[in-house]
Amino acid sequence: MSPDASSAKLPPHVPPELVKPYPLVFGESTREDPFKTMVPQVHLGPPVLYSTAVYPGHQPGWVFRRAKDLQQIYQDTEHFSNKDFAPFAKLVGDTWSQVPAETDPPMHNLYRGIINPLFTQIRMRNLETRVREIAREYIAKFQKRGSCEFMAEFAFRFPIAVFLELMNLPIDRVDEFLGWEKQLLHSDNLPEIADGVRKIRDYLLNVIEERRRHPGEDFISIGIASKVEGRNLTADELMGFCFGLFVGGMDTVSTNMGLHFRHLAENKAHQNRLRANPTEIPVALEELLRAYSAVTTFRTCVKPVQIAGVQIMPGDKVAMATTLANRDPEVFSQPNEVLLDRNPRQMTFGYGPHRCVGAPLARRELTFAMEEFLAAIPEFSLKSGVPIVTFLGGMIQPSELSLVWRS
């Protein structure tokens, strides 16, 4: 839980009665299943609360738990800015922003024009054979063993291998890349986060220079060759483009995969239903994405505005917790139950103009991973006596997931 908020000095526009502990503290971890305990707990409270430890570095911000309020903020580019939705560039004294995630209109639409063609349905379909091959390669390494540490041996490596191919980055450095990613997304220590930012930035600067000399068809080369308003991207824009792709491709699908397979390990009826009926997997995944939405990003208020009867002032941070929106009891009946045929309209990939551009690739990776794993591996369970530690905050992620089956 966050520190006692009553001891903090509050801005004058924050009603003291809305200052509450918020359990999904950035950089913390738990041995509880936060989707069974913490998330339902937040939904028992007020529609909006103010936490002293919601933004990276244990900084304060607003938390809206209802989907309709978060949808309003997603759409409101007049009062809320995406700039600094993560503190990465500021921590190292840089001036770039992640492109397009941390940009506002009108530039956001121009940047999306560069990014969208990377993830078209045709381009994604052309990747399908190779994506399945990669999934099978990793599964084959532990299939006959009767056990695996799912996060380290599959959830991290499979989607990241796909992403590294798209970026033409070396697969043999994946452990190093994952270490940097952990510094960024699972630490509440600002100097440690800054160290991770520097390592990724410096690495990408070298790659960018190499691709300028030897361009290819990879995403970084495409960024270098792209134009906006008739010009090439500036150095800051190109770094923001590459950094955003690097961060977005390294963690999100892995996280969702871990949460989904934990559910299947704990719910054998669901696991065996999908194994026997693999055509149901795409619809079931929409429900798993809803129930186990893992990502919180942030908005910064730039003009005074009232949301849900609460005054938000310039400089205030707002947590965009898809985790809460997707379990909103005002939107979903039985929000804490997983109904595989629900086929919900969920907000896991965001909402409105900033909806995740990589969603088509993510859905394919998740679908192929589940299809191939269930086809190759018999009924599996969580290994007895091994606790699951789950990171909280910006990314709700199991650090390890030990699965066992009869080989």
Query: Which CA distances in Å does 405 have to 144, 180, 303, 350, 399?
Result: 10, 32, 55, 35, 20
Distance of alpha carbon 234 from alpha carbon 383, whole angstroms: 50
Q: What is the pTM of this model?
A: 0.92
167 in Cβ contact with 173 (< 8 Å):
no
Report CA-CA distances (Å) from 37 to 43, 172, 258, 294, 338.
10, 38, 18, 15, 15
Block means of pLDDT (10 residues each) for the chain, 407 residues, are 51 96 91 97 97 88 98 96 84 92 88 89 87 96 97 93 91 89 81 94 97 95 94 95 86 94 98 98 98 95 97 97 98 98 94 87 95 98 96 92 94
**How far apart, in whole angstroms, are the C-alpha atoms of residue 217 and residue 223?**
10
The predicted-structure confidence for 357-383, as pLDDT tens digits, reads as follows 889 899 999 999 999 999 999 999 999
Q: Residue 4 and residue 297: Cα distance in Å, rounded? A: 23
pLDDT digits (tens, 9 = 90+) for 167-222: 999 988 888 998 898 888 777 788 999 999 999 999 999 999 999 999 999 999 99
Burial of 175 (0-12, 13-18, 19+ CB in 10 A): exposed
Taking the C-alpha atoms of residue 239 and residue 99, their distance in angstroms, rounded to an integer, is 8
Domains along the sequence of the chain with CATH = 5-405 (1.10.630.10)
Asked if residue 27 lies in contact with residue 187, where contact means CB atoms within 8 angstroms, the answer is yes
Expressed in angstroms, the distance from the first to the final Cα of the chain is 41
Distance, C-alpha 241 to centroid of its chain: 17
